[in-house]
């Protein structure tokens, strides 16, 4: 990598090279109005619109790269960040900046379908195969379950069939993988989604400015995800009641309608989802021509 690529005035962001986090990361960057140009080795990229460099890594390496300051920030599953925190000894671990709402999954203890699971005591004396020994042991200790863990890097779901273990503790999304392997989930031990992490050491002023601008763009994308722009015509004397019904709205914009004195146009940004019930209520208050539009970008 050239010196130019390791420019210290640019913020360095680690994302997964390819896998279940990468589409969500690319979409998030795209929605932030950022496009990526990738280096020839495909391990390095550059954001065109902001001074941000990208390192494309295996997800498991992202927390340590951020902890070691090889990268300033990273996007990783909470499961991987927490496993690293529980199993790797270091002076300081990366801190979670915010939840990003994609790559949601659960870490679950699962076992043979024929087990009639009646609680943690059933796991006493059993062996549990997992790629997450830290999180699994933490759960077992918290719940006073006397089971052992068997570390497996992949294909955890085959462990009971091969008699390597009695049960598994693995990531579950739809549950199809467990089902196809004759297993069923017993207990959810950890809810996960993609998170933004950073090294807790203060950045230089220059990097802090880039970081603030980047996080502000992410906030804009996150807050516009459920937000709607609502427009309607409404009786002037119903405006107060309408304002109360619109979720999260404090002060809508009121516009005059040419040639009408008793009716006005009401425009408002609703930060929360607008459901059909709300539209029905608005109609009952005399609103007409109600439009609910998606918002592409928003900045507070």
Of ligand PRT, Zn ion, none, which one does residue 192 interact with (CB within 5 to 8 Å by kind)? ligand PRT
The DSSP bridge partners found for residue 106 are: 172, 191
Contact by Cβ (8 Å): 199, 99: no
Which positions from 101 to 130 touch ligand PRT by CB under 6 A, shown as an x/- string? --x-x-------------------------
Of Zn ion, ligand PRT, none, which one does residue 138 interact with (CB within 5 to 8 Å by kind)? none
Among 79, 130, 199, 224, binds ligand PRT (CB under 6 A): 79
| Residue 61: CB minimum distance to Zn ion, A | 8
| Residue 61: CB minimum distance to ligand PRT, A | 8
CA gap 293, 173 in Å, rounded: 31
Which positions from 188 to 217 touch ligand PRT by CB under 6 A, shown as an x/- string? ----x-------------------------
| Residue 187: CB minimum distance to ligand PRT, A | 15
| Residue 175: CB minimum distance to ligand PRT, A | 5
| Dihedral sign computed on CA atoms, order 239, 240, 244, 245 | negative
Contact by Cβ (8 Å): 134, 87: yes
Stretch that binds ligand PRT, among 76-84, 199-207, 212-220, 264-272 (CB under 6 A): 76-84
| Residue 265: CB minimum distance to ligand PRT, A | 44
Stretch that binds ligand PRT, among 38-46, 54-62, 141-149, 244-252 (CB under 6 A): 54-62
Contact by Cβ (8 Å): 220, 299: yes
* Structure token pair of residue 199: 């090294």
Q: Return residues touching Zn ion (CB under 5 A).
A: 59-60
Of ligand PRT, Zn ion, none, which one does residue 82 interact with (CB within 5 to 8 Å by kind)? none
Do strands 288-294 and 253-257 pair parallel, antiparallel, or not at all (unpaired)?
unpaired
The CA-based dihedral angle spanning residues 4, 6, 11, 17, taken in that order and rounded to the nearest 10 degrees:
110
| Residue 29: CB minimum distance to Zn ion, A | 20
Contact by Cβ (8 Å): 267, 231: yes
Query: Burial code of 72-102, b = ≥16 C-beta within 10 A, e = fewer?
Result: bbbbbbbbbbbbbbeeeeeeebbeebeebeb
Contact by Cβ (8 Å): 232, 265: yes
| Helix 133-142 with 78-87: angle, nearest 10 deg | 80
Contact between 80 and ligand PRT (CB under 6 A)?
A: yes
Contact by Cβ (8 Å): 56, 40: no
Contact between 159 and ligand PRT (CB under 6 A)?
A: no
Using the minimum distance from each CB to ligand PRT, give the nearer residue, 197 or 266: 197
| Residue 58: CB minimum distance to Zn ion, A | 5
Of Zn ion, ligand PRT, none, which one does residue 84 interact with (CB within 5 to 8 Å by kind)? none
Residues that bind ligand PRT (CB under 6 A): 16, 19-21, 58-60, 77, 79-80, 103, 105, 170-177, 192
């Amino acid at each position: 990598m050239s010196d130019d690529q390791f420019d210290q005035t640019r913020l360095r962001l680690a994302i997964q090279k390819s896998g279940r986090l990468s589409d969500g990361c690319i979409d998030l960057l795209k929605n932030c109005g950022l496009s990526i140009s990738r280096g020839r080795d495909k391990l390095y990229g550059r954001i065109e619109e902001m001074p941000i460099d990208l390192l494309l890594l295996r997800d498991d390496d992202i927390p340590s790269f951020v902890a070691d300051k090889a990268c300033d920030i990273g996007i990783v599953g909470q499961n991987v960040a927490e496993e690293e925190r529980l199993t790797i000894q270091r002076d300081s671990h990366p801190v979670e900046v915010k939840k990003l709402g994609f790559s949601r999954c659960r870490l679950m203890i699962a076992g043979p379908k024929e087990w009639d699971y009646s609680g943690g005591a059933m796991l006493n004396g059993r062996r549990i195969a997992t790629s997450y020994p830290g999180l699994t042991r933490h759960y077992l200790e918290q719940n006073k379950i006397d089971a052992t863990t068997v570390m497996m890097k992949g294909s955890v779901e085959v462990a009971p069939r091969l008699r390597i273990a009695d049960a598994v503790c693995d990531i579950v999304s739809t549950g199809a993988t467990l089902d196809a392997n004759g297993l069923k989930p017993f207990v959810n031990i950890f809810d996960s989604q993609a998170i933004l992490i950073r090294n807790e050491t203060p950045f230089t002023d220059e990097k802090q400015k880039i970081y603030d601008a980047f996080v502000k763009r992410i906030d804009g994308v996150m807050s516009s995800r459920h937000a709607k722009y609502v427009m309607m015509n409404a009786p002037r004397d119903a405006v107060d009641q309408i304002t109360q019904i619109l979720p999260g709205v404090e002060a809508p914009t009121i516009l005059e309608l040419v040639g009408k004195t008793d009716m006005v146009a009401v425009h408002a940004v609703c930060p929360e989802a607008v459901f059909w019930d709300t539209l029905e209520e608005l109609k009952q208050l005399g609103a007409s021509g109600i439009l609910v539009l998606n918002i592409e970008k928003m900045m507070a």
